[in-house]
Amino acid sequence: MLEGIIDQIEHLRWEDLLDLVIFTVLIYGVLTWLQDRASRAVLIVSAILSSVFLLARAFDLYLTFRAFEYGAIFLLLSLVVVFQQDIRHGFEKLSTFSSRLRNRSSTAGEGWIDVVAEAVATMADDRTGALIVFPGEESLDRHLRGGVEVDAIVSLPLLLSIFHPKSPGHDGAIVIDSGRVTMLGLHLPLTKHVESLHDGGTRHAAGLGLAEVSDATILVVSEERGTISVCHDRRIETIASADVIGRINGLAIETSSHRHRRFLHLPRLSIAIAITLLSFLILVDRSDTLQRTLIVPIEYSNLPEQSELLEPRTSFAEITLAGPRPAFDLLEPSSVSISIDLSQHPRDTPASIATAHQVTGIPSDLAIESVNPATLFIELKAKGNTP
């Protein structure tokens, strides 16, 4: 086992290093996705399928291995259909990584937080319903419906007027981003887990619904009970008026630093590297040399004008190749041939050609053990002079 590992390290190519880096990045992304949003069922299904594949590979279970080989596309499509919401969520996170680079670090100490807290407390005392959305790092465009775009500095009169019962958009939600009201009169997706709402109404269902599909934080003021609830990370909880400032303040600090914490998670990266190296050692076995024999065509090209090739001529050859299993995985038998260029052969002069030097379509890691016939004898004649 140790000798095989050392042999693989000694034969490591720059292509293998690039392969390892790409695979590590993919595994890191998958681990991040699974930990943050995806259902545990994804991890369980992936682990089972990976275990069965490794067993089929280790014990040469031909039928099972072929089923994986030919059914890979079907399995991929099935996973996309079943987990499309989580996959879409993952792509949204990738797209917003580069687009949401605004610095929020200075918002924690700004006065708009106190203004929002005062407005929320006032509306709770007056039994005025309100729905306020604080975006995270992910785009909310796909989840929001309707609304009017605005760009107004947060102020107490503005918030109280937006949610005044006689205001046209008081039933909708507003978005506050970095101390500015950017949208109002919005409709949010409703949660399907109504049992989590307890005595909450439509506003609570909308707040929890958005928290289930994004990393936004939503404040909900109940018109019936005068309570304040916060929705985040698929959960809803009731808080006191005095806790509103702390929650919004914590949200601003978390948002400004969360991007940097998520950029590189060392334990997760270590796991990704370990999985990559283990997969490389198991799946890419370069110490196991295989042999395979192919029947390939002999192609004659560039026949000079007014010339013809004397018969009989050989049309097929038998080639025996040797090399590691991964190299054979890259081999495309239909692309392998023996190509004889006739343009440089003079007429009326028999010539012998070593067929091993004329083989094309062989990956660089594969060696030609033998070719039958090893030599081809050809002779060109002018047309009409064939004996």
Q: Let me know if residue 319 belongs to a domain.
A: yes
Q: Is the pLDDT of residue 387 over 60?
A: no
Give 61's contacts (C-beta < 8 A, 6+ positions apart): 55
DSSP string, 328-374: HHH--GGG-EEEEE-TTPPBT--EEEEGGGGEES--TT-EEEEEESS
**How far apart are alpha carbons 58 and 357 in whole angstroms?**
35
CATH at 353: 2.170.120.30
- Note whether 236 and 138 are same-domain residues: yes
* Same domain as 244, residue 295: no
185 and 91 housed in the same domain:
no
Tell me the pLDDT tens digit for each residue of 338-355: 998 888 788 878 888 888
On whether both 150 and 278 belong to a single domain, the answer is no
Residues 94 and 131 in one domain: no
The predicted structure's pLDDT at residue 88: 64
Q: Are residues 72 and 185 in the same domain?
A: no
Is residue 295 one of the residues assigned to a domain?
Answer: yes
Residue 76 in any domain: the answer is yes
Q: How many Å from the N-terminal Cα to the C-terminal Cα in the chain?
A: 64
**Relative orientation angle of helices 62-82 and 40-58, to the nearest 10 degrees:** 160
- Quote the distance between the C-alpha of residue 363 and its chain's center: 29
Same domain as 159, residue 112: yes
Q: Is residue 27 part of a domain?
A: yes
Spatial distance between the Cα atoms of 241 and 52, rounded to a whole number of angstroms: 54
Same domain, 326 and 343: yes
Residues 121 and 175 in one domain: yes
Instruction: Look at residue 387 and tell me if it is in a domain.
Output: no
pLDDT per residue as tens digits for the range 248-302: 776 655 554 444 444 566 777 888 888 888 777 766 655 567 788 999 998 888 8
> Residue 240 belongs to what domain range?
106-255
- Mean pLDDT over each residue of the chain, to the nearest integer: 78
Tokens of 130: 């309100």
Confirm whether 113 is domain-assigned.
yes
Q: What is the pTM of this model?
A: 0.49
Examine the domain organization and report whether 239 and 296 are in the same domain: no
Tell me the H-state helices in 147-197. 156-162
Same domain for 206 and 124: yes
Q: Is residue 135 part of a domain?
A: yes
Beta bridge partners of 376: 353
Are 37 and 149 part of one and the same domain?
Answer: no
Query: How many separate domains does the chain show?
Result: 3
Q: Give the CATH number of the domain where residue 145 resides.
A: 3.40.1700.10
